[in-house]
Amino acid sequence: MQVAIDSAWEFQGLTFPNPAVGCSVVDKNGKIVAVGVHEKAGEPHAEVNALQMAYAQLTGDSSILLLSASDKIHDFLITYHHNIFTECTLYVTLEPCAHHGKTPSCAQLIKALGIKKVIIGQKDPNAEATGGMTLLEDSGCRVEMSEGCEARAHDLLKPFISWQNRPYVTYKWAQRLDGTIDGGTISSHLSRIQVHAMRDCSDLIVIGGETVRNDRPTLDARLVDGKVCDVLVYSRQKEFDKSTPLFNVEGRNVYIESSLERIKQYKNILIEGGPAMFEATKEVVDAYLCFVAPKSGGTIRFTNSYNDFKILQSRNSGGDVMMWMEK
Ligand code: AOF
Ligand code: ZN
């Protein structure tokens, strides 16, 4: 379950409106055969990616890896599984879905493959998709909640739980090891790709007036060829130089407002800014994402009024440390 959770965190922020989910397939000797994650809404669920890889591992037949559509992988597995999974256990961070959404039901697939044991990290809070636990139990599968990992599985699921009835707000910043944030590009290319991929799945970006004036940003998702999202310039100042690139991106609404009320009309919000924005938005932020580059050299430091963050997950991002945190 720990492996499934850690793997899913790699796609946290990238799966909206779906949750980040991970799945480990373990054989009868307790060895991990394959791990899969849900990478993007509309693409295969974690269980499907994990079972696809597990099939290739267990049979030595890698032709299944050529398939990318979820329904095609389901059909292949259901046709050719020859009971190779019956003694495997699945560890899934979320209850397998019982419904057919953009992709077919994972619980139905697990049932069809004759898998006898499934450990889950959290129940699905989405009323449309939940029911996988009961469906599997009714078919004779043993389904258990993970002992010891519920809290981490819950942390992973927080954005999705929030989206059931309210927005989820992530505050992102990048700094050097000495805390400085000025003087040009700070984070690695991979970290910047990560941020562009997050913009691609956000519906609103919030920035402060100072960022508009100083950085003249575009705030698009060009590094991942992604879509543009709306922008809220949170500022008391009403007039900005409209030749600033962010105002000239086609298909985008830009609001210049002195309140954060606009956030309530959106679901997945990314705030990008410095220490002033950090303080001004702290009442509405759910999670903090910080990139620390192993460098020094600027003059302005990122200071903030918190002296205690809880790190939910951290990893290397092209040489930077990337940390998901809560207050
Ligand atoms: C799973 N495994 O990896 C994820 C699940 O439209 P769909 O078919 O992609 O279904 C989306 C819903 O399925 C989503 O709202 C959530 O309830 C569940 N997500 N379920 O079994 C996964 N990502
Ligand atoms: Zn599913």
Which of 5, 45, 130 best tests ligand 1's pocket when mutated (most atoms within 8 Å of CB)? Answer: 45
130 CA: nearest ligand 1 atom = 17
Domains in the chain, number: 2
- CB-CB neighbours of 139 under 10 Å: 15
* pLDDT number for residue 70: 98
Task: Report CA(314)–ligand 2 centroid distance (Å).
Answer: 26
**Are residues 211 and 315 both part of a single domain?**
yes
Task: Report CA(90)–ligand 2 centroid distance (Å).
Answer: 13
CATH number of the domain enclosing 289: 3.40.430.10
Task: Report CA(45)–ligand 2 centroid distance (Å).
Answer: 5
The per-residue pLDDT for range 157-211, each reduced to its tens digit, is: 999 999 999 999 999 999 999 999 998 899 999 999 999 999 999 999 999 999 9
Kindly state the helix (H) or strand (E) to which residue 90 belongs, with its residue range: strand 89-92
Task: Report CA(118)–ligand 1 centroid distance (Å).
Answer: 16
More confident residue, 183 or 156: 156
Is 303 buried (19+), middle (13-18) or exposed (0-12) by CB count in 10 A?
Answer: exposed
20 CA: nearest ligand 1 atom = 23
User: What band does 87 get if pLDDT is binned at 50, 70 and 90?
Assistant: very high
Which residues form ligand 1's pocket by a CB distance below 6 Å?
18-19, 21, 38, 41, 45-47, 94, 96-97, 101-103, 106, 124, 126, 129
Task: Report CA(4)–ligand 1 centroid distance (Å).
Answer: 15
95 CA: nearest ligand 1 atom = 21
Task: Write down which residue in 163, 198, 227 finishes a domain.
Answer: 163
Pick the ligand that lies closest to the CA of residue 22.
1
Alpha carbons 307 and 327: distance in angstroms, whole number? 9
User: Hunting for tokens 């575009």 — which residue is that?
Assistant: 218
Q: Quick check: 305 pLDDT over 90?
A: no
What angle do the packed helices 2-9 and 150-163 form, to 10 degrees? 40
Pick the ligand that lies closest to the CA of residue 118.
1
Which member of 10, 39, 47, 210 is catalytic?
A: 47
**Are residues 28 and 62 both part of a single domain?**
yes
**Are residues 186 and 289 both part of a single domain?**
yes
Going by CA atoms, what residue is nearest to atom 20 of ligand 1? 97
Alpha carbons 305 and 316: distance in angstroms, whole number? 26
Contacts of 148 (CB under 8 A, 6+ apart): none
128 CA: nearest ligand 1 atom = 17
> Is 261 a known active-site residue?
no
**Are residues 156 and 11 both part of a single domain?**
yes
Alpha carbons 253 and 247: distance in angstroms, whole number? 9
Contacts of 115 (CB under 8 A, 6+ apart): 85, 86, 88, 89, 90, 141
Structural domain including 51 reads: 2-163
Going by CA atoms, what residue is nearest to atom 14 of ligand 1? 18
Task: Report CA(97)–ligand 2 centroid distance (Å).
Answer: 4
**Are residues 158 and 174 both part of a single domain?**
no
**Are residues 298 and 322 both part of a single domain?**
yes
* pLDDT number for residue 306: 85
**Are residues 156 and 199 both part of a single domain?**
no
**Are residues 128 and 231 both part of a single domain?**
no
Which of 39, 47, 94 best tests ligand 1's pocket when mutated (most atoms within 8 Å of CB)? Answer: 94
- CB-CB neighbours of 157 under 10 Å: 21
97 CA: nearest ligand 1 atom = 21
The residues facing 232 across adjacent strands are 206, 255
Task: Write down which residue in 163, 185, 201 finishes a domain.
Answer: 163
Q: Do residues 278 and 304 touch, judged by C-beta distance below 8 A?
A: yes
* pLDDT number for residue 304: 87
Going by CA atoms, what residue is nearest to atom 2 of ligand 1? 45
Mean pLDDT value across residues 83-100: 98
Alpha carbons 313 and 289: distance in angstroms, whole number? 10
CATH number of the domain enclosing 117: 3.40.140.10
User: Hunting for tokens 């192993």 — which residue is that?
Assistant: 294
**Are residues 154 and 184 both part of a single domain?**
no
The residues facing 291 across adjacent strands are 174, 322
* pLDDT number for residue 254: 97
The residues facing 91 across adjacent strands are 24, 119
Q: Quick check: 307 pLDDT over 90?
A: no
Sheet holding 22-26, edge to edge: 32-37, 22-26, 89-92, 117-120, 142-145
User: What band does 113 get if pLDDT is binned at 50, 70 and 90?
Assistant: very high
Task: Write down which residue in 163, 185, 208 finishes a domain.
Answer: 163
* pLDDT number for residue 160: 98
**Are residues 125 and 224 both part of a single domain?**
no
**Are residues 196 and 220 both part of a single domain?**
yes
**Are residues 208 and 299 both part of a single domain?**
yes
